[in-house]
């Protein structure tokens, strides 16, 4: 089993090679890890996160090349998130005169999720996110991750694997989001700085021909492959976004966990499997 320190070292080497413009950013972030006595950024404390967020190299992401949106095929950007993530990124509306049954934001995620799920099942699917939240979807670091590849509405866990999300990262209270490409003014190719704190990220070589990032498909732990297209987007008005709640299926034994793919991930970066 490879250790996370080896994975991080290999990833940083690849990041500098493919995206040299961000080498100083990576060096600054690794210096913070060293100050905290950490060999990798994949499992750190709240204190370390707060320290990273105070550093502009980490907090000011979404600085990769802008994408020519006119060249993107398809109609929507898609994203998988938890109800907790979106409530933390925008403002939950809560009870109103027209809908006093709406729970308050202080209620557990399960309550908020069930409220959206009930409306979705009653109305037959996608709902405007602005029914439940106001403001903009921002993300902890000022951006969120999206793909133009459609996430299957029923077999959505398969889509999650193609987005590079392993099973233990999926919430029992998951939502799929979609946003019209036409509603977005700027989208960026993800950088090694954007993906710094994720053990599953393959930085794209930022040539003039690069049009998007590419996730790692973890569906087959023994043979990782190219996954869905990958973009990072800045704040998005919730009025532009639709939401579809999805319950996490019961485990059946073929789930993919992070430990299942670590050796293959390290090999992907050209590191050792020891």
Residue 183 — very low, low, confident or very high, per pLDDT cuts 50/70/90? very high
Structure-token pair, residue 105: 């934001």
Residue with tokens 């690069």, as numbered in its chain:
210
Residue with tokens 């990833």, as numbered in its chain:
11
pLDDT of 60: 86
Residue with tokens 């040539």, as numbered in its chain:
207
CB 66 within 8 A of CB 187: yes
Q: In the predicted model, what is the mean pLDDT of residues 72-84?
A: 94
pLDDT of 147: 97
End-to-end CA distance of the chain: 6
Distance CA 245, CA 156 (A): 11
Structure-token pair, residue 242: 């639709």
DSSP characters for the chain? ---HHHHHHHHHHHHHHH-GGGHHHHHHHHHHHHHTT-S-SSS--HHHHHHHHTSHHHHS---SPBP-GGG--SSEEEEEEEHHHHHHHSEE----SS-TTSPPTTS-HHHHHHHHHHHHHHHTS-EEGGGTEESEE--TTS-EEEBSSPPPSSSHHHHHHHTT--GGG--TEEEEEEEEGGG-S--B---TTTTTT-SS--PPP--TT--SEEEEE-SSTTS-EEEEEEEEE--EEGGG-EEEEEEPPPP-S----HHHHHHHHHHHTT----
Residue 164 has pLDDT above 90, yes or no: yes
Residue 61 has pLDDT above 60, yes or no: yes
Residue 135 — very low, low, confident or very high, per pLDDT cuts 50/70/90? very high
Q: For the chain, what percent of residues have pLDDT higher than 90?
A: 69
Residue 81 — very low, low, confident or very high, per pLDDT cuts 50/70/90? very high
CB 257 within 8 A of CB 191: no
Residue 262 has pLDDT above 90, yes or no: no
Pairing relation of β-strands 213-217 and 133-134?
unpaired
Residue 43 — very low, low, confident or very high, per pLDDT cuts 50/70/90? confident
């Amino acid at each position: 089993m490879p250790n996370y320190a080896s994975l991080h070292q290999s990833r940083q080497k690849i990041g500098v090679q493919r995206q040299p413009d961000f080498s100083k950013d990576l060096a600054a972030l690794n210096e913070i890890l060293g100050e905290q006595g950490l060999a990798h950024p994949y499992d750190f404390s709240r204190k370390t996160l707060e320290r990273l967020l105070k550093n502009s190299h980490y907090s000011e992401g979404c600085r990769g090349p802008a994408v020519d949106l006119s060249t993107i095929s398809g109609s929507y950007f898609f994203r998988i998130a938890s109800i907790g993530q979106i409530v933390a990124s925008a403002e939950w509306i809560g009870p109103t005169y027209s809908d006093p049954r709406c729970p308050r934001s202080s209620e557990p995620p399960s309550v908020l999720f069930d409220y959206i799920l009930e409306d979705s099942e009653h109305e037959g699917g996608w709902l405007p996110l602005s029914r439940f939240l106001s403001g903009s979807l921002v993300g902890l670091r000022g951006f969120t991750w999206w793909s133009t590849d459609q996430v299957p509405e029923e077999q959505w866990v398969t889509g999650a694997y193609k987005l590079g999300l392993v099973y233990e990262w999926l919430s029992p209270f998951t939502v799929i989001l979609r946003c019209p490409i036409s509603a977005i003014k700027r989208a960026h190719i993800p950088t090694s700085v954007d993906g710094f704190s994720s053990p599953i990220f393959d930085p794209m070589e930022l040539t003039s021909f690069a049009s998007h990032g590419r996730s790692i498909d973890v569906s087959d732990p023994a043979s990782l492959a190219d996954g869905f297209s990958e973009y990072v987007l800045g704040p998005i008005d919730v009025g532009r976004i639709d939401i579809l709640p999805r319950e996490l299926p019961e485990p059946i034994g073929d789930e993919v966990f992070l430990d299942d793919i670590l050796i293959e991930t390290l090999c992907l970066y050209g590191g050792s499997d020891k």
